[in-house]
């Protein structure tokens, strides 16, 4: 496969966003990627790893800060013909019928009405929406809406199909159904699509669909690794090769580049660390689960844990990450194990838990420690959240900074290391009257 | 800064999983050829065309300054007058729409334009209609010499200024908030700017724009009297129309004629509501998620009528093709090349240079025109007048809130009642309150009431409905479980108001109060001067000042009144309403 010419090439892509305080936030750094004919490529990474940004750069929607995209020998500077995209939130126009939505791309190309109609009806037929031509999107279920999204992309007869988390807004069954339909379509070769580039944070999805998986590290991302998948379709989740692959990806995604092979070292984080968006109840819930006899005192396989907790594996990652950075558990190579503090926390009562949590929060989360220190230092013991927000924005994008601050405020309030007034946006050391 | 607790990826257009509707093809229902629905629909269309043609002919008639246009109070002439007024309203609405599309889009797409357009419109909003009218009427009459078009254009322009601003702001808001992924989809499928406008931006902003169009139409009835009957260079011009009819009826103290006019207006409002706005609402409800299907029961009969006709269905598909040609019009389809940075920075510089020039020029004019002619003492006096009007507006907003809050909540808690009553209130709101002014005048004179106090209610007659609307809306969208929880914990009486209802509806209520206050300021120019036959009642206030100087053609004083009124309105908005609104949104928004 690799001895052919690539259809599309991303060369040394770099992307940084301007912050409001004139600092640049680097999201992608020197990313290289090649897409070849006849393969499905998955871009796999946690949220915030910059994979969606890369997809938008490839599509021509967003301009890279440096580097270039070469598609069929030409540089991409704006959305190119031959590249079509399917969106996470479907992005179909609620005021257009299914038919009108699908023919949108053809109208833009100026295809005459009759030809447009017949091509559109064919595309609608292919995705199985026959009979819904004049329905409005609100009459359709989520899965059917995404089928409209597929039809709209197929009708312009693209070369490369770009997909931005196309199944993540759907429930599990619908997503499965749609995935297998897409694979059938791909294998039947009814379309001229030469390559599918799929952005996802779902490990199982990447493993079940892709011929090649590109694993993203956290932002500013470099591509961490690339895996070739040579399991024939349809891939069963029971297939030992498949399980091994999933396990493998887990290990890759939970192991940072530095601690391969060495004795376990906790991740030390900095002030600008992007705290995972995790609620206290999720942390305590997972700790409660890990203290059960079945998991206590041993390494637990993450896929198994996800299964047991009825969590999507992608929802599990942020929680295990927070246990790790709070030093309640050791997470490595796709396994998790409670440490002494984790066990103590899980066995304590509510008040004792708060104490332990406060202790860990102040010791291991620099941002929490920093906020507390500022509040201690100030004579009136209060500070505006905006002050800290500005601080975090030196490291993170505006949205990410807001989220991180929200997380640390929730954790800090639970631990009672500081108080927060939503109306005034003030952090303080006093309890509400 | 606000930390959004629900910072999810959810977009407003993202839909919950509604139960699927069964779908049947339209073609399944075929009627035999002589379809009597056709006849009815054709009758409607032809009547419409004939009426418009007649009205247009009248508009293009000849007119010389000094000609006296005879207005008759005979009700036989009323339908003709109504037609001509309605045409003026719709021509103004058309231009408002064009203005909205051009400037709303410009402001939303270009941040340099945005910096100027939005604050300008914000100010224009608080400029009373009369001031606009006085600026343009001489000009129009001069341009279209010897033609009826001169005064017609002036009147239409006046009506336009009472319609356009809120529409533009609403459309601008709409275009600004088009979800990012929809924009990306439009880009990735290569829609040109022209196509994007018609396929994405216009439909997305339509529900809000439509609502504002309806409000504008109601609002402009209020100013029709002022716009149709005005004086230029000592000449009284009365354009044939309902407005002139009413002003003559008032001058002659003919109460029967006022009643005829009221009936006539009710019919007209009912007609365009049914023929135009209902179908448009019906169309937006087709794709709006929030609409329950039950609610769509009040579907537009005009649409059903046209759906039942055979011949006209074909005509509709022809129209659809025309619309398509328009949207996909080739010359507009070419994508504009991204302009080079050098050129655009030059343009931006030019743009700001022009602005600076205009600003200097404007300051000079104001100085030369107003300040030289008017003493500082008078300026202070006008400020005091403004304060008088301000006190009236504020106390009336307070008073109508006290009345409508409980009633609105009471209605809002009963969904069936709210649904039934909504169209009625909307209709009542469209009714121009100034028709009741004559009644008020008689009452004031008969009971020898204090003019200063008793003109005040007239200022909010037309705008109090915004408070009621919003309170009903706010109450009915309060989560049902919240009300149940309150009942469960037996939260009652004052506590219930203080802890549940008032915080729950705060953002809605404040929105309503802001709109009502804005409207009341504008209404003050009509409400502070009451006329009935030979009776003339004047209340002390800036509205009275502006009206008096408008009638005497004293431009410097008119300008002074306008500027000071704008200043006061802007100050109150910035210092009082906007902070209040922000607090309410931050603290009490349920979402």
For residue B282, give how far its alpha carbon lies from the nearest alpha carbon of chain A (Å): 12
A94 interaction partners in chain B (CB closer than 8 Å): 13, 15, 287-289
Of B1, B184, B189, nearest to A156 by CB-CB distance is B189
The CATH number of the structural domain formed by B373-591 is 1.10.3720.10
Q: Which residues pair with A337 in a beta bridge?
A: A330
For residue A330, give how far its alpha carbon lies from the nearest alpha carbon of chain B (Å): 29
Give mean pLDDT, residues A160-166: 93
A142 interaction partners in chain B (CB closer than 8 Å): 15, 17
Is-contact B572 B386, C-beta < 8 A? no
For residue B588, give how far its alpha carbon lies from the nearest alpha carbon of chain A (Å): 10
Greatest Cα pair distance in chain A: 76
- Domain ranges within chain A, ordered by starting residue: 8-254, 263-433
Of B14, B184, B587, nearest to A61 by CB-CB distance is B184
B13 interaction partners in chain A (CB closer than 8 Å): 89, 94
Distance CA B513, CA B456 (A): 16
Beta carbons of B195 and A108 less than 8 Å apart: yes
Task: Give the residue, A320 or A395, on which the prediction is more confident.
Answer: A320
Give mean pLDDT, residues A343-371: 90
Which one, of B157, B153, B89, B167, lies nearest residue B121 by Cα?
A: B167
Distance CA B550, CA B553 (A): 5
A313 pLDDT higher than 80: no
Beta carbons of B190 and A134 less than 8 Å apart: no
Instruction: Judge whether A8-254 and A263-433 match in fold.
Output: no
B286 interaction partners in chain A (CB closer than 8 Å): 95, 136
Is-contact B162 B216, C-beta < 8 A? yes
Beta carbons of B188 and A96 less than 8 Å apart: no
- Domain ranges within chain B, ordered by starting residue: 33-332, 373-591
A152–B contact, CB cutoff 8 A: yes
For residue B185, give how far its alpha carbon lies from the nearest alpha carbon of chain A (Å): 6
Domain at A8-254, CATH from 1.10.10.2520, 3.40.50.300, 3.30.300.30, 3.50.50.60: 3.40.50.300
**Residue of B5, B185, B333 to mutate when probing chain A, most A C-beta within 10 A:** B185
**Residue of A55, A78, A94, A197 to mutate when probing chain B, most B C-beta within 10 A:** A94
- pLDDT score at B310: 63
Is pTM beyond 0.80? Reply is no
The CATH number of the structural domain formed by B33-332 is 1.10.3720.10
B179 interaction partners in chain A (CB closer than 8 Å): 89, 91
Give mean pLDDT, residues A413-432: 83
Give mean pLDDT, residues A155-172: 90
Distance CA B529, CA B531 (A): 7
Q: Among A224-238, A244-258, A359-373, where is mean pLDDT lowest?
A: A244-258
- pLDDT score at A20: 62
For residue B583, give how far its alpha carbon lies from the nearest alpha carbon of chain A (Å): 8
Which one, of A413, A345, A333, lies nearest residue A375 by Cα?
A: A413
A115–B contact, CB cutoff 8 A: no
Please count the residues of chain B. 591
The CATH number of the structural domain formed by A263-433 is 1.10.10
Beta carbons of B3 and A135 less than 8 Å apart: no
A329: Cβ contacts below 8 Å, ≥ 6 apart: A290, A320, A323, A336, A337, A338, A339, A342
A26 pLDDT higher than 70: yes
Beta carbons of B206 and A95 less than 8 Å apart: yes
Instruction: Judge whether B33-332 and B373-591 match in fold.
Output: yes
**3-state DSSP call for residue B11?**
coil
- For tokens 């030809």, name the residue: A115
Please give the interface size between A and B, counted as residue pairs whose CB atoms are below 8 Å apart: 132
Beta carbons of B14 and A90 less than 8 Å apart: yes
Is-contact A111 A88, C-beta < 8 A? no
Beta carbons of A402 and B3 less than 8 Å apart: yes
A163 pLDDT higher than 90: yes
- pLDDT score at B99: 94
Convert the pLDDT of each residue in A383-421 to its tens digit: 888 888 888 888 888 888 888 999 999 999 999 889 888
Give mean pLDDT, residues A118-125: 92
Of B4, B21, B330, nearest to A110 by CB-CB distance is B330
Of A61, A92, A406, nearest to B187 by CB-CB distance is A61
Distance CA B239, CA B260 (A): 18
Q: What is the pLDDT along chain B (591 residues), one digit of tens a residue?
A: 333 333 333 332 323 332 333 333 333 344 444 466 667 767 777 777 777 777 777 777 777 666 677 778 888 888 989 999 999 999 999 999 999 999 999 888 888 888 888 888 878 877 877 777 777 777 787 787 777 788 888 889 989 988 888 889 889 988 888 888 899 999 998 888 888 899 899 988 888 888 788 878 877 887 887 788 877 666 778 888 888 898 888 888 888 888 898 888 888 888 888 888 878 877 777 776 654 444 444 555 666 666 666 666 666 677 777 787 777 776 665 555 444 455 567 777 777 777 788 878 777 777 777 777 778 888 889 989 999 999 999 998 999 999 999 998 988 888 778 777 766 776 676 676 777 777 788 888 888 888 888 888 888 887 788 888 888 878 877 777 777 777 777 777 778 888 778 888 888 888 788 878 888 888 888 788 887 777 788 888 888 888 888 878 777 888 888 888 888 888 888 888 888 888 877 777 655
Beta carbons of A85 and B328 less than 8 Å apart: no
A173–B contact, CB cutoff 8 A: no
Distance CA A305, CA A70 (A): 42
DSSP code, position B531: E
Of A79, A110, A425, nearest to B187 by CB-CB distance is A79
Beta carbons of B1 and A389 less than 8 Å apart: yes
A91 interaction partners in chain B (CB closer than 8 Å): 179, 181-182, 184-185
Beta carbons of A140 and B20 less than 8 Å apart: yes
A142–B contact, CB cutoff 8 A: yes
Provide, rounded to the nearest whole percent, the portion of chain A with pLDDT above 70.
93
- pLDDT score at A109: 85
- pLDDT score at A161: 93
């Amino acid at each position: 496969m690799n001895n052919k010419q690539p259809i599309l090439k991303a060369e040394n892509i770099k992307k940084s966003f301007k912050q409001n305080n004139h600092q640049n936030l680097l999201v992608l750094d020197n990313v290289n990627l090649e897409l070849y004919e006849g393969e499905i490529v998955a871009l796999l990474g946690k949220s915030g790893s910059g994979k969606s940004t890369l997809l938008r750069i490839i599509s021509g929607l967003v301009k890279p800060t440096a580097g270039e995209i070469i598609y069929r020998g030409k540089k991409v500077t704006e959305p190119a013909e031959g590249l079509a995209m399917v969106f996470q939130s479907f992005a179909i126009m609620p005021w257009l019928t299914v038919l009108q939505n699908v023919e949108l791309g053809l109208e833009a190309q100026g295809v005459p009405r009759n030809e447009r109609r017949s091509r559109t009806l064919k595309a609608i037929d292919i995705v199985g929406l026959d009979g819904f031509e004049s329905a409005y999107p609100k009459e359709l279920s989520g899965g059917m809406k995404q089928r409209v999204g597929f039809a709209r992309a197929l009708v312009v007869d693209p070369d490369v199909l770009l997909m931005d988390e196309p199944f993540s807004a759907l429930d599990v069954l619908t997503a499965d159904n749609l995935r297998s339909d897409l694979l059938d379509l791909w294998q039947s070769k009814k379309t001229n699509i030469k390559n599918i580039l799929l952005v996802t944070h779902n490990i199982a999805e990447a493993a079940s669909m892709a011929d090649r998986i590109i694993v993203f590290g956290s932002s500013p991302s470099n591509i961490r690794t690339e895996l070739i998948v040579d399991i024939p379709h349809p891939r069963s989740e029971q297939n030992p090769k498949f399980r091994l692959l999933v396990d493998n990806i887990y290990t890759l995604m939970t192991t940072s580049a530095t601690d391969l092979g060495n004795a376990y070292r906790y991740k030390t984080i900095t002030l600008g660390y992007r705290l995972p968006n995790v609620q206290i109840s999720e942390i305590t819930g997972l700790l409660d689960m890990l203290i059960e006899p079945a998991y206590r005192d041993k390494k637990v396989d993450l896929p198994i844990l996800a299964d047991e907790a009825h969590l999507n594996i992608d929802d599990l990652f942020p929680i295990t990450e927070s246990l790790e950075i709070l030093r309640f558990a050791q997470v490595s190579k796709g396994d998790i194990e409670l440490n002494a503090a984790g066990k103590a926390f899980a066995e304590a009562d509510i008040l004792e838990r708060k104490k332990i949590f406060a202790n860990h929060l102040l010791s291991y989360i620099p941002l929490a420690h920093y906020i507390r220190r500022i509040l201690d230092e100030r004579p009136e013991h209060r500070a505006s959240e905006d002050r800290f927000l500005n601080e975090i924005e030196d490291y993170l994008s505006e949205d990410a900074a807001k989220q991180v601050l929200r997380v640390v405020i929730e954790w800090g309030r639970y631990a009672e290391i500081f108080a927060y007034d939503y109306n005034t946006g003030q952090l303080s050391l006093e309890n509400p009257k | 800064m606000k930390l959004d607790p629900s910072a999810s990826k959810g977009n407003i257009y993202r839909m919950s999983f509604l139960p699927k509707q069964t779908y049947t093809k339209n073609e399944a229902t075929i009627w035999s050829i002589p379809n009597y629905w056709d006849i009815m629909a054709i009758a409607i269309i032809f009547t419409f065309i004939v009426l418009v043609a007649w009205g247009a002919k009248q508009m293009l008639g000849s007119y010389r300054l000094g000609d006296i246009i005879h207005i008759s109070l005979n009700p036989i002439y009323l339908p003709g007058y109504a037609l001509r007024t309605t045409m003026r309203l719709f021509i103004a609405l058309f231009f408002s729409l064009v203005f909205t599309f051009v400037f709303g889009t410009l402001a939303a797409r270009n941040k340099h334009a945005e910096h100027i357009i939005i604050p300008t419109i914000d100010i224009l909003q608080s400029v009373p209609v009369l001031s606009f009218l006085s600026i343009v009427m001489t000009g129009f009459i001069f341009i279209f010499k010897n033609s009826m078009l001169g005064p017609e254009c002036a009147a239409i322009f006046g009506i336009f200024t009472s319609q356009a601003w809120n529409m533009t702001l609403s459309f601008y808001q709409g275009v600004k908030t088009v979800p990012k992924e929809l924009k990306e989809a439009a880009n990735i499928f290569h829609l040109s700017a022209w196509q994007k406008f018609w396929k994405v931006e216009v439909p997305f902003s339509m529900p809000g724009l439509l609502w504002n169009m309806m409000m504008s139409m109601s609002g402009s009835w209020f100013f029709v009297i002022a716009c149709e009957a005005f004086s230029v260079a000592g000449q009284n011009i009365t354009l044939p129309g309902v407005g002139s009819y009413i002003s003559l009826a008032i001058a002659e103290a003919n109460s029967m004629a006022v009643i005829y006019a009221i009936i006539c207006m009710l019919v007209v409002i009912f007609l365009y509501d049914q023929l135009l706005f209902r179908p448009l609402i019906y169309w937006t409800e087709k794709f709006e998620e929030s609409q329950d299907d039950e609610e769509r029961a009040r579907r537009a009969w005009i649409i059903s009528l046209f759906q039942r006709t055979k011949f006209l269905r074909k005509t509709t598909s022809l129209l659809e093709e025309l619309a398509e040609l328009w949207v996909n019009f080739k010359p507009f389809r070419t994508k504009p090349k991204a302009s080079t940075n050098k050129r655009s920075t030059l343009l931006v510089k030019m743009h700001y240079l022009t602005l600076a020039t205009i600003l200097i020029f404007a300051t000079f004019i104001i100085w030369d025109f107003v300040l030289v002619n008017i003493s500082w003492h008078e300026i202070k006096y006008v400020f005091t007048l403004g304060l008088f009007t301000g006190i009236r507006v504020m106390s009336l907003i307070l008073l109508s809130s006290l009345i409508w809050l409980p009633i609105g909540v009471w209605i809002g808690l009963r969904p069936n009642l709210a649904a039934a009553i909504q169209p009625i209130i909307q209709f009542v709101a469209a009714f121009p309150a100034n028709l009741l002014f004559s009644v008020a005048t008689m009452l004031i004179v008969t009971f020898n009431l204090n003019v200063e106090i008793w003109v005040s209610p007239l200022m909010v007659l037309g705008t109090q409905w915004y408070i009621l609307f919003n309170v009903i809306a706010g109450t009915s969208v309060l989560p049902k479980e919240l009300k149940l929880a309150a009942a469960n914990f037996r939260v009652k009486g004052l506590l219930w108001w203080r802890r549940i209802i008032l915080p729950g509806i705060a953002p809605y209520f404040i929105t309503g109060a802001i709109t009502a206050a804005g409207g009341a300021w504008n209404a003050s120019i009509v409400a502070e001067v009451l006329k009935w036959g030979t009776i003339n009642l004047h209340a002390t206030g800036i509205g009275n000042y502006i009206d008096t100087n408008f009638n005497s053609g004293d431009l410097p004083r008119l300008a002074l009144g306008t500027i000071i009124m704008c200043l006061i309105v802007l100050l109150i908005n910035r210092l009082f309403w906007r902070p209040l609104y922000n607090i309410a949104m931050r603290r009490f928004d349920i979402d």
